[in-house]
Amino acid sequence: MRAVSPTQSLSRRAKRLVLLGADAFLILACLPLAVILHGAPLALLNQPALWTAVVAIVPLVLYTFQLRGLYRVVLRYITGAAMPAIMTGAGLGAIGFLGMAHLLGLPVPPGLIATHAVLLLLTVSGLRFGLRTLMRKPALREARPIIIYGAGRAGQQLVAALFLSPEYRPVAFVDDDTRMHGTTINGVRVYPPAELRRLCEYWHIREVLMAMPSLNRQRRRRIISRLETLGVEVKTIPAMGDLVAGKARVTDLRPVMPEDMLGRDPVPPRADLMARHIKDKVVLVTGAGGTIGAELCRQILTQNPRRLIMLDVCEFALYSIATELRDQLGEENEDIVRAVLGSVQNQSRMRIVLQQFAVQTVYHAAAYKHVNMVEENLIEGLRNNVFGTKVMVQAAADCGVENFTLVSTDKTVRPTSVMGASKRLAELICQAEAQRGGSCTFSMVRFGNVLGSSGSVIPRFHDQIARGGPVTVTHSEVTRYFMTIPEAAQLVIQAGAMARGGDVFVLDMGKPVRILDLAKSMIRLHGLVPYILDEKRSPEMEAGDIPIQFIGLKPGEKLHEELLIAGNPRGTKHPRIMAASELALSPEALDALLEQIWLACKSFDLPSLQAMLRAAPLDYRAPAHEIRDVLWPEVEIQRPVAQLRVVAGRAGTAS
């Protein structure tokens, strides 16, 4: 149990009276010190009028301290912000002292009065900061020593704020700026990065805090890579944009996120492309409760739409994004946002929605996207992803929608999963409708994984690390493309704005990331040591904290994802958006194919569905006769598959 100091047992009023008495004593005690330091004759202290003048300024000084709130400050948390109050009191005391000396006819040198004021400033502040140190000393012994990387303004604010925290004790700054090396800021010395390992060992550091919110991502990645090797947990302060906007404080520390390691410096969005199909228009987002759908809604709202219609079949997801945006808009503007519950498979409801709100722009993000879930629920995956898209496309064409953008995926390229095949069929539906030549402009935007999306590998790694492992990786060589959620949503909007009809846009995802390297980095940034779990050896024999276990690729998963089918992209007005020339089916051929798929879905004829997907011009590469649906009896898996005829399109061929 922590001992209670005598001052802690006093009431608040009693503490103020003690400080008042101490300040009054200091005002008087500083007089003889001032006489000595100024070199004035000591006989001056024998004059009663001098003491009368000093006693007379005591109420003035104390009243000034009171007015400036000095006695309301909690000593344990006092900072330099209290100095103006002390300086004001000392200054007014000096003026009062000078006035009283003049009234009493005392030959007091002005330098003596100035010396008294300086001593008063030093002793009153010294008393408070000394008491603060005494009060905080037990807590400082228990506080965790930390190093702050970045001695700029953000780092200085952080160390000042952490000085009040019982949890952390800043012991060193580290900064790349050689001009700052060897200097001291708020009592904390600045060291070069080369000293990091020595400092961590000397202070037994377990956490390093990054205080460089405006640093570009390339330099940030280099610094994070350097910190990874130290065996410490790395945390960072919020981004500069959030700090400036007031969305976060400098003390809102968070673990280093994958986007800090993987994300690129985003290209600023083009204002004309962002607003082209949104400003003063009625916009509908399907799948608005999902990761991309919700971010699309946030981005759309910044472009001043006349109305934003959010559609989702999941009540809680729709409620969450609707509440967030309505709170952001305020009561007077919340009518701009409308939340509609419903499934994109419901044809009559979708038409009513488009007609009722006179929707002009549609972003179709509603889809079942998790590879394994769709693989095990084949019928529902096809009904939602394929026929839900068909419903939306037909309704958009018939109800006067001006622009329709399908949010697609890199898994449509030579798909090995039903999900990928279903999304490729959704692309073909948009392409076929564009061939019909209606007034609505259809386009598709294809990209890979987004950082932190629901069900993605990164949140799962976080949970597994928090539980102590193992962290599960499908394959040692598996790679994936990653993009931040805001960047992906902005690029989807900008790509759709460049559409002319039937376009397939592909987002520049940067370089693919090796998932094993990502897992190791995330473990190290938690201050832990990763190791590969070898089934032949006992985990106790391994040297590390968190094991990484290879579990094998799941059905439908690829080792490496692709973004292009034909491999001949061309540039656009945006450096991160490419346009691809992909094969398309004629509307008649596609209608015939979809009719067969629909009949097979209605009769739950999974073997026929598998055969159709393989025969269709999708380049679907799933193993033959392998049905993974959870409702398909195992004894029937090897049942002979009926021979089916697939109609070939003018631009595509059936295999």
Residue pLDDT, tens place only, 542-558: 567 889 999 888 877 88
Q: List the structure tokens of 104.
A: 């009493």
Residue 382 lies in a domain: yes
Q: Is 188 helix (H, G, I), strand (E, B) or coil?
A: strand
- Do residues 361 and 432 both lie within one domain? yes
Residue 606 lies in a domain: no
**What's the whole-number mean pLDDT along residues 464-472?**
89
- Do residues 304 and 415 both lie within one domain? yes
Q: Nearest Cα to 184, choosing from 159, 218, 161?
A: 159
- Do residues 155 and 134 both lie within one domain? no
- Do residues 374 and 504 both lie within one domain? yes
Tell me: the pLDDT tens digits for 84-105? 899 999 999 999 998 888 888 8
Q: Nearest Cα to 253, choosing from 187, 384, 185, 161?
A: 161
- Do residues 114 and 196 both lie within one domain? no
What are residue 188's phi and psi, to 5 degrees?
Answer: -115, 125
pLDDT of residue 45: 85
**What's the whole-number mean pLDDT along residues 136-159?**
79
Q: Tell me the DSSP string of 407-439.
A: E--GGGSS-SSHHHHHHHHHHHHHHHHHHTT-S
Residue 314 lies in a domain: yes
Q: Is the pLDDT of residue 532 over 50?
A: yes
Q: Are 414 and 406 in contact (CB under 8 A)?
A: no
Q: List the structure tokens of 627.
A: 């049905």
Q: Which of 526, 547, 580 is the last residue of a domain?
A: 580
- Do residues 220 and 298 both lie within one domain? no
Would you tell me the crossing angle of helices 83-104 and 48-67 to the nearest 10 degrees?
150
- Do residues 104 and 214 both lie within one domain? no
Q: Which of 534, 549, 580 is the last residue of a domain?
A: 580
- Do residues 104 and 196 both lie within one domain? no
Residue 525 lies in a domain: no
**What's the whole-number mean pLDDT along residues 489-513?**
87
- d(CA 387, CA 429) in angstroms, rounded, equals 9
- Do residues 162 and 134 both lie within one domain? no
> Considering the entire predicted model, what is its pTM?
0.71
> For residues 455 and 20, which has the higher predicted lDDT (pLDDT)?
20
- d(CA 318, CA 300) in angstroms, rounded, equals 16
Q: Which of 108, 124, 139 is the last residue of a domain?
A: 139
Residue 460 lies in a domain: no
- Do residues 352 and 422 both lie within one domain? yes
Q: Tell me the DSSP string of 619-635.
A: ---PPTT----TTS-GG
Which of 67-81, 206-220, 259-273 is predicted most confidently? 206-220
pLDDT of residue 507: 83
CATH of the domain at 309: 3.40.50.720
> For residues 265 and 483, which has the higher predicted lDDT (pLDDT)?
483
Structural domain including 117 reads 6-139
Residue 102 lies in a domain: yes
In this structure, is the dihedral angle defined by the CA atoms of residues 337, 338, 344 and 349, taken in order, positive or negative?
A: negative
Residue 642 CA, distance from chain mean position? 51
pLDDT of residue 652: 40
Residue 118 lies in a domain: yes
- Do residues 122 and 158 both lie within one domain? no
Categorize the per-residue pLDDT at 485 as very low, low, confident or very high, splitting at 50, 70 and 90. Answer: confident
What is the chain's mean pLDDT, rounded?
84
Tell me: the pLDDT tens digits for 39-52? 888 888 888 888 99
Nearest-10 Cα torsion for 299, 301, 302, 304: 140
- Do residues 292 and 402 both lie within one domain? yes
Residue 97 lies in a domain: yes
How many structural domains are present in the chain?
Answer: 3
pLDDT of residue 542: 58
Using a pLDDT cut of 90, give the percent of the chain over it: 37
